[in-house]
Each structure stands twice: as structure tokens, then as C-alpha cells.
Structure 1
Amino acid sequence: MHDSPGAVPVVVVPGGPCRDPAYLGDLAGLARTRPLVILHPRGTPASGGLSRGWWTDADDLIQVADHLEAPAVDVIAHSAGTRLALAAAAQHPGRIRSLALVTPAAAWLTGTPHDGAALAAHRSEPEITRAFASMNGESPGDETTFQRALEAEAAAGYARWTPVERQHAGVGAMTWAASSAWFRDIPADAAARITASPLPPTFVLGGRDDLLSGVAPVRAYADALGAHLTLLDDCGHYPWIEQPAAFRAALGDWLARVSQ
């Protein structure tokens, strides 16, 4: 954590869901410019226990703010973690000062069809073919098939599949039990309650080659939230790994803006 007395803490919510936050690294050096507090959501290896569902687990983010004695916090959330961040903002008005939602799992909010296959039209790697075969297959029903699916689908998370991306894909464990629990007991009107809520200033950062989230769903998601949207070129689901300088600049500029 960067020591900056008086600075509003930035709480970081990992994705997965319930993936060990080790895969976040230092967010391309962002930790050197603002205090980062990494949430270990219920279900991550160090948290103990399983999620109560992301809608209810949103209370944990507010408890972190309380522990920090912060009236409000800035939040950076990645992928599936963006659901928890939005739920916290909707249920606890005023406690989230700003939201930065990175490569969000977006289609659920607006129902916009996923366009990952069209984005992958120029990709010829056999790993991409294997990834889409897995993504279009049956949902895993146990730990073994879940881990096999994670391995098969890893390449779809990146615009390129070089040794750098291969190494990163193996960082940060997650489990079928934790992932399944994340989606339990979610209100049927969760999306409507979020979009009807007076959200804080919100920034959505996506990748133009994000085969997991797609691009059309992310555009619709940002529009539904009234958010500022930036899409990074030659970038998939992990912009701090794939485009670290652009990621650091985009998030740094956003955090500086909401700090004024």
C-alpha cells in the first residue's frame, strides 16, 4: 500500500469470481500513486467460507470503508467483481465516492448479446478455438470440470497468447464451489435496482479485443450506468498486463479527476 496520509483509500475488488487477488499484481504500478486496499471477497482462498452471493457480499466492501474510518472510498473493480461494486453503490448511497469498472462482466446488466466470437474472427490460434468450444459447452458441474474449463478458456482473456500472458493466466486460484456460491440469492430485479440508483461518478475501462466480456455489451453497460467509457486497443480482459502504460494512465487520470 502506498502511504499517503489523508488520501481517500482506493478499495480494489478482484474478479473471477472469488479469484485470489494475486493476479492483480500492483495494477501496473498504480499502487505507487494511491493507497490500494485489496478486498479478499468471501470465497477467495484467504477469506475463509463461501460467498453469500455478490448482492449480499456488497456489505463487506462497506465494512472495509468503516474499518478504514473513511466516509467514502473510491473503488476499482475487475470483471465479476464489478457486480459487487455496483451492488455496494446502489445499496449504500454516498459510501462509494467513485467507481472504476475494469473489463466488466457486462451482458447481464442490459441483455446485450455477447460479440466475442466476432471479435475473435482474426484469431487463428488453436487455443482460441479450444477456448470457444469450452465457453459454448455445458457449464461445469464439479471442481474437476471447472478447473479444466478455466485452463481451456484462459487464452480468450488476452489479445495475444505469448509467454507473458500464459504465465499470468496461472496466477490466482479460484474454485467451482466459490464461483457457484457467488451467484446465489441474487434479487431478480438487481439489474433494474442498480440502473435506477443514483450512482457515483463511474468509469468503465474495456479492451477492444476482450473475448470474455465482448465490446458491444460493455458499451451498452457503460451507457446504462451513465459512465465514461474508454476502450484500449490491442487489449483483452487484463489491461494492466497487456497495456500497462495505457491502463496506468487511464486509471491515474480518473482517480486524479475524482479527487479534485
Structure 2
Amino acid sequence: MESFTSWDGTELAYRVVGSGPPLVCIPGGPGQAVEYLGELGGLTRSRTLILLDNRGTGASGVPADPATYRVDRLVDDVEALRQHLGLDRMDLFGHSASGGICLLYAARHPGRLNHLVLVAPSLRVVGLPSDLEVDRVLAARAHEPWHATAVTALHAEATTPEEQQRYRWEAAPLLYGRWSPAAQAQAAAEPAQFAPAATDGFYAGFAPDPALPARLAEFTAPTLLLAGEHDIWPTAAAVRQLATLFGSHELVVQPDSGHFPWVDDPAAFAASVEAFLAR
């Protein structure tokens, strides 16, 4: 791991893997260490991935001010990383909750981006619902042997940390296109990757800026929005709604995939992202 000092003195860690032009990658969760991104389905063959551990997660330091865990404050860490890397402009990748960080970065620093890649992005920062047509998505998988248990766990309210972990595991198949060994391995590793303070602080006190959609409409850098066909948060329908806010964008719905499309079909995922970044 390499490190740098961010704007407030917090030491942040990042990992560099692969070869080719750099792609700065911000993990989601929220509050999850970047290791879950792995090598993004083999993107390391054509890209140098700069994999950041957000503050308070993974190998990065804990900030003195817990308020800096908030999604809009993390934008400053992305900008500090860009400056540290010496990049005048960069290609930026966000997944899930970090999609919100990247959307806010695009609005605040539009001239610093060549390409923006958003995979299963959270829509909370733009005030859009993430669960459009979720009942249809869930019903389409009713034939799966784990379906009834997973849906029950998805809607269950845990009363203890142990119950929360059990429900999370039982609902996990809903986040993947196939409950394969690779999916099970990733889901099993997740609990140890989360930092509760970073998770809890991500949206603490945050309210969407009503002006953000208008700023995104003016954003001109090419943007890839990639959704999984079976994802339940955000659904593909919700990502299509996000797409209407952008002028220059490409929308890809990856078949037979969920919230982690590089796990479900690494080759298809890498091909989509590589083709987009090459244009």
C-alpha cells in the first residue's frame, strides 16, 4: 500500500495494480475497505487501478473529525488524491455508495475528469429512489432455491448484531446474478471489511442539493452508467432514471448480474468498461 496526506492531515492509503492508463477507484459500502473491488474483473490488463481506502477504512487513518466521513466531505479526499498523483485530469470509477461521492465530485470539479464510470451507483445524493420496479426484479428470481429465505431476510428487522449478520448473509444471494463460489466468497469476506464509524457517518446530516441535477446536466465528460440486470439497489430502472440527468452518457445493463457485476461476469464487465474508456 502507498499513502498520502489528505487536506486535513488524515493519512490515506491506496493500492496500485495493473498496467496502462490510470483509473482512480473509490469503494462504496459505505465504509467498506477497497479490497472488495479486487481487480475489477481483469481491468488490470489494460488499466492501472488506483484503489483508495476511504478515510477510516482499510489501511487509511481515522480522521480527527468524524463529520468528515460524510459523503460530500469525502469529495475533498478524491481531489487530494488527484493532486497527489499529479494528474491534471483523470478517469474516475465509483461503485454503489461511492457513486454518490463521484457524482458530487463531477459537479464540483467537472474540468478534472476525462471519463466517469459509475457502477450500481447510489442515487441518494441526487434524491432519486433506488428501488424502482424492485418487486418485478425480485419476482423474476422466484425460481431460485434460496429465494424465499433471502426475501424474508431482506425485509426482516434485526434486534441484535448477530441477527443482523445472519439476515445479511441469508439475503446476500439477491445481490448477485448467480450464487456462485466467487459470490459466496466475496459475501463471506464482507463483514470484516466494514468500519462502523465510516458507515454511520457517510450520510449523517447530509441532505441532497436541489441544484445538483442541473449541474450534472451541464457535465460534459463521457459517463458510463453500468447496472446489473438483477440488482435490487439500485435497480436497472433506477439507473435509467439517473441517466436522464446526463447529457453525454452511455448506459449498460449487464445481463444475469447483480450489485457486483465484475464478480458475476468478469469478462463482460471488463469489456464494457475497457471499450468505454478507450473511446
> TM class by shorter-chain length?
0.7 to 0.9
Q: Does 1:60 align with 2:80?
A: no
How far apart in 2 are the matches of 1:45 and 1:243?
26
Kept in 2, the 8 Å contact 1:146–1:176? The answer is: no
The match for 1:209 among 215, 230, 234 is: 230
Deviation of 1:78 after TM superposition, in Å, equals 0.7
Verify the 8 A CA contact 2:225 2:252 in the aligned structure 1.
yes
Structure with a larger share of its residues in strand: 2
Q: State whether structure 2 residue 105 is matched by structure 1 residue 84.
A: no
Match of 1:231 in 2: 253
Structure-2 change in CA distance of 1:96 and 1:204 (3 Å): same
- The aligned amino acid for 2:152 is A
Given the alignment of the two structures, is residue 120 of structure 1 paired with residue 138 of structure 2, yes or no? yes
Are 1:185 and 2:205 an aligned pair? yes
Secondary structure of 1:229's match? strand
Q: Is the 8 A contact 1:107 1:217 kept in 2?
A: no
**Relative to structure 1, is the Cα distance of residues 143 and 96 closer, same or farther in structure 2, using a 3 angstrom cutoff?**
farther
- After the TM superposition, which of the residue ranges 50-59 and 213-222 deviates more from structure 2? 50-59
Give the match's secondary structure for 2:93.
strand
Residue type of the partner of 1:171? Answer: A
Unaligned runs of 5+ in 2: 1-16
**1:118/1:155 Cα in 2 relative to 1: closer, same or farther (>3 Å)?**
same
Report the CA distance between 1:148 and its aligned residue: 3.8
Inter-partner Cα distance in structure 2 for 1:66 and 1:141: 44
Q: Give the alignment partner of residue 167 of structure 1, picking from 185, 188, 204.
A: 185
TM-score (norm: length of structure 1): 0.86
- Name the % identity: 33
Aligned partners of 1:107 and 1:218 also within 8 Å: no
Work out whether 1:22 is the aligned partner of 2:35. yes
Which has the larger displacement, 12-21 or 144-153? 144-153
SS of 1:94's equivalent? helix
Q: Which has the higher contact order (CA 8 A, sep 6+)?
A: 1
Report the CA distance shift for 1:61/1:142 in structure 2 as closer, same or farther (over 3 A): farther
Distance 1:73 1:196, change over 3 A: same
Extract structure 1 runs of 4+ deviating beyond 4 A. 140-146
Over the residues paired in the alignment, what is the CA RMSD in angstroms?
2.3
Give the TM-score taking structure 2 as reference length. 0.81
